[in-house]
Amino acid sequence: MTCALPAVPSRLSKSLMLAAIAATLSLLAPVAASAQSAWENIRPEVFGQRIIHDGAGIMTLKAPFRPEDQRAVPIGVDAKFADGRSVKAITIIIDENPSPVATVLRPGAGRAHVGVNMNFRFNRKTNVRAIVEASDGELYMAHAFVRYAGGQSACSAPPNGNAEEIAASMGKMKLAELTDAAANANSTQIQRRARLELKHPNFTGLQMDQITLLYWPVHIIEKLEVRQGNDVVMQMENGISVSEDPVIEFNFDLNGAGSLKVVASDTKKNVYEQTFPVGPGT
């Protein structure tokens, strides 16, 4: 089984409308062609005829060669420009998903250094790619190969807990600063890193309720925004390959505001928000 994901932000609404159909068809579809041929089809659809440069020296992509849990494979991207440009967007693509754009992150304006780590579902061996768009529109890519460890397909694996437990915890958040203690106590240490944990089942449309034997419909965190005061830290638009109970690590620069506000919305129009203190001494 494979999991269908929305395309790029401008296409997300359309893709989510088709997600249930795509999920059903994926049950019947043959296994996708090789990763190389998949990318040959993905590239023109997502990026048109735009040139994509080698990202060496500008970005790094971290992915496990053989993941311990295909339901939550950690993918990390770190992008940095030293020539005055900033990061406009980071797109993560999993080649062997039928709709392969897993997430698109747009940082706040003017950020030359953006780092993010996030967990995704992987159903089979595949290339994973990170494409960074610079503020001048140039594209840069890094890619890695992730092996399939076997076992149940990640997109059809049942969620943790029963329906009542899932409903009771949905939308709950935790945020922890990962900055080391010495730097955290130093008011001149501007760059910080945080880990956000968000409880949500992110139903793929391929998971069966073991009691009713019916499939849970697609229900995912579609959009997520983090702000520090009035400044945007990042905005994300996600597909169904984002893992259950998402965990997102990200960097940010202190701007004088004492808190981060997280607002997440899902495909059932539920909105979850919470504000967390940040900065020296927190």
What pLDDT is recorded for position 214? 74
Is position 51 within any domain?
A: yes
pLDDT top residue among 2 and 178 = 178
Stated pTM of the model: 0.82
pLDDT tens track for 158-199: 677 777 888 899 999 999 998 665 455 455 457 899 999 999
pLDDT band at 230 (very low <50, low <70, confident <90, very high): very high
Is position 13 within any domain?
A: yes
Q: Which amino acid is at 173?
A: M
Residues of the domain holding 17: 9-277
Is position 4 within any domain?
A: no
DSSP 158: P
Measured distance CA(235)–CA(246) in Å, rounded: 15
Measured distance CA(123)–CA(241) in Å, rounded: 9
Is position 107 within any domain?
A: yes
Average of per-residue pLDDT values in the chain: 83
pLDDT top residue among 211 and 46 = 46
Which residue is it, tokens 């060669």?
65
Is position 257 within any domain?
A: yes
Is position 2 within any domain?
A: no
Is position 104 within any domain?
A: yes
Question: What CATH number has the domain bearing residue 189?
Answer: 2.60.40.2470
Number of compact structural domains in the chain: 1
What pLDDT is recorded for position 2? 45
Q: Both tokens of residue 58? A: 């500008």
Whether 234 and 116 have beta carbons less than 8 Å apart is answered as yes
Is position 3 within any domain?
A: no
pLDDT top residue among 281 and 33 = 281
